[in-house]
Amino acid sequence: MALLVLLALPVLVVLTHPWWLAPALSRYLTSTSGRPVHFESARFGLTPAPVLRLQGVRIANAPWAETSRPFAVFEEVEFEMTGQRHEGRWVVSRIGLKNGEAHLERRPDGLRNWRLRNPEERGPGRFWFLVLEAERTALTFTHHGIGLVLRASSSPNPASAGATGPAPEMPIRVDFEGSLRRVDFRGSASSGKAISLLQSRRWFPLRGHAEVEGARIELDGRAADLLREPRLEAKLLLDGKSLAAIGPWVADRYPKARAFRVAGELALGPGRISLAGATAKVGATDFAGEVAWSREERGHRLRADLRSELADVVDLAWLAGRAPAVAQAASAARRALAAARAIPSPASAPEGSTTKIAAWRADLSYVARRFRAAEVKAVQSLALKAKLLDGRLDVSELDVGVAGGHATGRLGIDLRQPVPAGDAQLAWRGVRVESLLPSLDAARRLSGAVQGRASVTAKGSGAEALLASAAGTATVRLSDGTIASMLDAKMGLQAGKVVRTLLSGNEPLPLPCAAAVLDIGAGKARIRSLVVDSANTRTTGSGTIDIGRRTLELVLTPDSKRPGLLDLGRSIRLHGRLDKPERALVDRVEQPARGPCAAGEAAR
């Protein structure tokens, strides 16, 4: 037996320390790559898997590379093999780099400077590298096809006492910088000795940060398989004062600076990403809740359950990457219409866009306890649930706090066809008219609680088409209110009471009821009936509002409950712009007889 061992030792030495392998491998790769390749020594080992250890590695760069520095210079490189193949490639379970540097470069046409056996090969590689161990190593990677330049270096993580120091399981520090699509970034991270690159499902601890101008992201947790189907479980903190630097990534959607902060538990895996226990703040708007996306058999699924103590529409518009539609001086209605007109028409969307929408499923819930819109000060809160399924968006449990009351209901939009179709059912109650119209002077002041209902359907590409096809009904009723005596006298065409009010002063008069019923069709709202029933006057009316043109044509006929000597006995015609109509007296138009505010009973 001793003799056999003695005879086997030389064979084992030759196999594990072949003095001929390094020169032979150097000559072969120099010939195939067309550039100098040198290895001082090459050895085999078992750990227990086969390991090829190369020492004194020096490989010249490709002739076309941007840098004249060598492609690779290392004191030692190790390849741990498995002898297995995956997707037609040999699996290298671990690659180890010690004391050196490498400069990797890829051209847009797929040419790579690290291919030595066949340097002109542009197709998929022949090896899978599962895990990387890099000690005192500098790497640069330039991908001309996507505009990426990355420079990274690893070094021993400096020992630090106290709770804030690196954990013992994170002995490596990696510092990096570079640019992606002209956006500069930099950062550093502490990690485990072995970093899994793909399909190893081998977790390693990770703690670090990355920065672009105006923003910073921090992660603390663990990661696996960074290059393919990455996995990440970590605490996330993202904060900054501006996203202008990432304009090349998001088409310059955030040119205006705005402070933001996001924190939560981030989980990333193949076909899924979620942020749990999230808190966020954008400007004055805060968020809390959960957000998750996943890729399912039928397509994509998005789930979000969010709430805000305070939400500002300006912050939400910034978050969506949209600038204000028109100038501040425009009216709220005109702003909304202009914004709607700016939305691209679905009819002009690329072919197959409806199929893409149908591939999405979403369940959203949002509550803003206080909702602030500088242009519509009466809005106070917002709550809704939304579901997107099979290309139809349904917003249910809609509740908008407005002017001391609430507007509730639902709306739906069918996005499956090139021309979308929508329907809405809304109801409002307890809305204070004096809060809706705070700018009215004392001579025109109204008060009271407004309630009503509306049911509308529409179909069209863009706001104008939607308005032109709108059809439905609406009822509005004001009860238990007051009307300024001057406004009541002018509406009743009672000249004597106008003079008396001028002398004695303006005062509120009881307004038990005011109501209207509207029929909507072809972009117009026909006022089927209108009643304003005050203590002194009962006024009826009818007419038409052109919603698209924002004009009206309305005739009001007053009946005094306490006739006076100077009553004019005529009707009032209002016409022209909806926000500032012209007024004229016309021959009296007898409106259909109705009971006290009977037309508004349906709005109760």
**The model's pTM:** 0.77
Residue 384: predicted pLDDT: 93
Q: Which tops the pLDDT comparison, 286 or 497? A: 286
DSSP for 436-485 reads: H-TT--GGG-EEEEEEEEEEEEEE-SSHHHHHHH-EEEEEEEEEEEEEEH
Residue pLDDT, tens place only, 189-245 = 999 999 999 888 899 999 999 999 999 999 999 999 998 889 999 999 999 998 888
**Residue partners of 353: CB distance under 8 A and separation at least 6:** 346
pLDDT over threshold 80, residue 1: no
Residue 59: burial class (beta carbons within 10 Å; 0-12, 13-18, 19+): buried
| Lowest mean pLDDT segment, chosen from 201-210, 229-238, 321-330, 338-347 | 338-347
Extents of the domains making up the chain: 1-155, 170-270, 295-323+355-416, 452-603
Q: Which tops the pLDDT comparison, 7 or 445? A: 445
Residue 228: predicted pLDDT: 86
Q: Which two tokens stand for residue 244?
A: 């202008």
Cβ-contact 534, 509 below 8 angstroms? yes
CA distance 448 to 450: 7
Q: Which two tokens stand for residue 394?
A: 């349904």
pLDDT over threshold 80, residue 477: yes
Task: Quote the distance between the C-alpha of residue 383 and its chain's center.
Answer: 18
CA distance 189 to 174: 5
Residue 602: predicted pLDDT: 38
Average pLDDT in the 469-488 region? Answer: 88
**Dihedral angle over CA of 248, 254, 260, 264, nearest 10:** -50
Residue 391: predicted pLDDT: 85
Cβ-contact 344, 353 below 8 angstroms? no
pLDDT over threshold 60, residue 132: yes
| Lowest mean pLDDT segment, chosen from 343-347, 352-356, 499-503 | 343-347
| Lowest mean pLDDT segment, chosen from 24-33, 69-78, 95-104, 369-378 | 369-378
CA distance 201 to 203: 6
**Residue partners of 101: CB distance under 8 A and separation at least 6:** 72, 73, 74, 137, 138, 139, 140
Nearest to 409 by CA among 457, 369, 453: 453
Q: Which two tokens stand for residue 122?
A: 């542009």
Q: What is the DSSP letter of 112?
A: B
Cβ-contact 217, 246 below 8 angstroms? no
CA distance 246 to 96: 34
Cβ-contact 383, 369 below 8 angstroms? no
Residue 40: predicted pLDDT: 96
Residue 260: predicted pLDDT: 94
Cβ-contact 332, 310 below 8 angstroms? no
Cβ-contact 71, 102 below 8 angstroms? yes
Residue 80: predicted pLDDT: 92
